[in-house]
Amino acid sequence: MAAYVSVGSEPGTHALRKALRARGVRVLLPVLLEDDDLDWGEDEGPERLAPARRGLLEPEGPRLGPEAVIRADVVLLPGLAVDRRGMRLGRGGGSYDRVLARLAGAGADPALVVLLYDGELLEEVPEEGHDRPVHAAVTPSGLHRFTPRPR
């Protein structure tokens, strides 16, 4: 599974990551590269995270390369909002747009899931040609699944 370390007011990922590691699930965490693409490292717990650019926390261990994400069965994506079609509004850096393009280019089809608060599930968010829909959003009120539409 590929996840991320929540920061600020984002829905927390710590307990989820801890539970997954306890079950023996290999959890990958992003490492922000200078060009804003993402490399990946293994989640070895909070004591093995280091401060990074943009106030992020990143794994201290070996880097696995940007392509490591294509082997994930589930990719947990950060987002500001998701609409009822499954379109995700990111923070504007394009890092996860690159991840989604990398997955599509490799023919990988992991479950794409976004953690949100209930008020961040909207009727519609702006969409650009490179945007790809996610499969589900998890909010405090429950799991919201989206029907993929043809591109």
Say if residue 90 carries a ligand binding annotation: yes
CA distance 78 to 120: 12
Say if residue 48 carries a ligand binding annotation: no
Query: Looking at residue 120, what DSSP letter applies?
Result: G
Say if residue 10 carries a ligand binding annotation: yes
Say if residue 6 carries a ligand binding annotation: no
The two three-digit tokens of residue 47, written as one number: 């004591």
**Cα 104 off chain centre by:** 15
Say if residue 63 carries a ligand binding annotation: no
User: Beta strands 38-42 and 28-32: pairing type?
Assistant: antiparallel
For residues 144 and 136, is the Cβ–Cβ distance under 8 A? yes
Beta bridge partners, 87, equal: 133
Say if residue 20 carries a ligand binding annotation: no
Say if residue 95 carries a ligand binding annotation: yes
Say if residue 31 carries a ligand binding annotation: no
Burial class of residue 68 (count of CB atoms within 10 Å of its CB; 0-12, 13-18, 19+): middle
Say if residue 58 carries a ligand binding annotation: no
Say if residue 80 carries a ligand binding annotation: no
For residues 90 and 83, is the Cβ–Cβ distance under 8 A? no
Say if residue 96 carries a ligand binding annotation: yes
Binding-site members for substrate are 5, 10
Binding site per annotation, positions for ATP: 88-96
**Binding positions:** 5, 10, 88-96
